[in-house]
Amino acid sequence: MHPDLRSHLHAHRVVGTSAAGRWCTPDELRGAVQRGELRRVWRGVLALPEQAGDLRTRLDGLELLSGGSVVACLGSAAELLGFAVQTDPAVHVLATPGHHLGSRAGLKIHQRTGAPIGRLDGQRLTMPAWTALEVARTVSRPRALATLDAALHAGRCTPEGLELALGQQHARRGTAVLGELVSLADGRSESPMESETRLVLHDGDLPAPVPQHPVLDEWGRELYRLDLAWPTARVAVEYDGFDHHSSPADLRRDRSRAAWLLDHGWTVLRVTATDVRREPALLVSRVHRLLARATTTPPGAR
């Protein structure tokens, strides 16, 4: 953390505020807290209200408390790297020699011997592929694939990097089931639910769809992208997140898109979280029927 963001205020420090870099009297500090100008980040660490919940601010606060740099790991590292797929309110850091942070609410300290460590914008953290595998080991199977997909999509690691990290963690709990997911991981997936949908289709023994398949016009220009598609059969599955904030213009675009795809022989099955998580067998059955019908129907009849 840069020195001008630190201020020793008797028993408290302030991170990321105009008070940083100068001494404050106890009355000034007390008044700022009472007026809501400062908020507690950790015991002994304060910040502006709009910054107090920010992960980087919380990590900066831990560095003040520990007297040295901390290493973000697991969900905290994934968030910094841009591929966290679910919210984790706790801050996760590695236990490092010489920096003794005590356990406290909102802070989880982990022992991870051998974890490769790098830096991102000055913050120490576990390396991307290692982080993705670490997170994947601790979440459900669908969320694990979503995490691996997101790490690839963010450009933070490669399939080969995931394979290497899997080998590095082979003896750790939970890695035995990740081999299949590492082989399935695809950076073309653009959302966690798209990843979960793809896993359901895989588990249903359906042919692998193409994530984010581009649909071209007669001049070869991209018109649309389909979440999951079987181009030869002109069958697609799209996840519908029910965006209730869509404008009338958005709805008109959606209808125009659906009509164009139908006119050009595409069958698009729209699915929801209920289909994916509660009725996966029914979803697989529907897709199977659509693919079977596409292979038995002459192209001109569609």
Domain coordinates in residue numbering, the chain: 1-66, 69-187, 192-301
The DSSP secondary-structure symbol of 104 reads B
Rounded Cα gap, residues 100 and 196, in angstroms: 39
Give the tens place of pLDDT for each residue, 226-259: 999 999 999 999 998 765 456 778 778 888 988 9
Mean pLDDT for 119-129 is 95
- What pLDDT, on the 0 to 100 scale, is given for residue 280? 96
Mean pLDDT for 44-59 is 84
Structure tokens at 19: 């008070």
Mean pLDDT for 25-54 is 76
Yes or no: say if 234 and 301 are a contact pair by the CB < 8 Å rule: no
By three-state DSSP, how is residue 271 classified?
strand
pLDDT at 5 over 60: no
- The overall average pLDDT reported for the chain is 85
Backbone angles phi, psi at 63, to 5 degrees: -65, -35
pLDDT at 37 over 90: no
Mean pLDDT for 50-72 is 87
pLDDT at 27 over 90: no
Higher pLDDT, 171 or 253: 253
Q: Which fold has domain 192-301?
A: Endonuclease; Chain A (3.40.960)
Mean pLDDT for 44-63 is 85
By C-alpha distance, which of 212, 218, 255 is closest to 231? 212
Farthest CA pair distance, the chain: 83
- What pLDDT, on the 0 to 100 scale, is given for residue 95? 84
Rounded Cα gap, residues 284 and 288, in angstroms: 6
- What pLDDT, on the 0 to 100 scale, is given for residue 53? 83
Rounded Cα gap, residues 203 and 170, in angstroms: 24
Yes or no: say if 265 and 236 are a contact pair by the CB < 8 Å rule: no
Q: Which helix (H) or strand (E) holds 149?
A: helix 141-153
pLDDT-derived band at 1 (thresholds 50, 70, 90) equals very low
Pairing verdict, β 8-9 and 222-230: unpaired
pLDDT at 136 over 90: yes
* pTM for the predicted model, two decimal places: 0.85
Higher pLDDT, 214 or 16: 214
pLDDT-derived band at 220 (thresholds 50, 70, 90) equals confident
Rounded Cα gap, residues 198 and 84, in angstroms: 19
Lowest pLDDT segment from 3-17, 125-139, 251-265: 3-17
Mean pLDDT for 53-73 is 88
Place of tokens 């059969």: 233
Share of the chain above pLDDT 90, in %: 56
Give the tens place of pLDDT for each residue, 92-122: 999 877 667 777 888 999 887 789 999 999 9
Mean pLDDT for 202-207 is 97
Higher pLDDT, 288 or 17: 288
Higher pLDDT, 222 or 173: 222
Give the tens place of pLDDT for each residue, 251-276: 788 889 889 999 999 999 999 999 99
- What pLDDT, on the 0 to 100 scale, is given for residue 18? 45
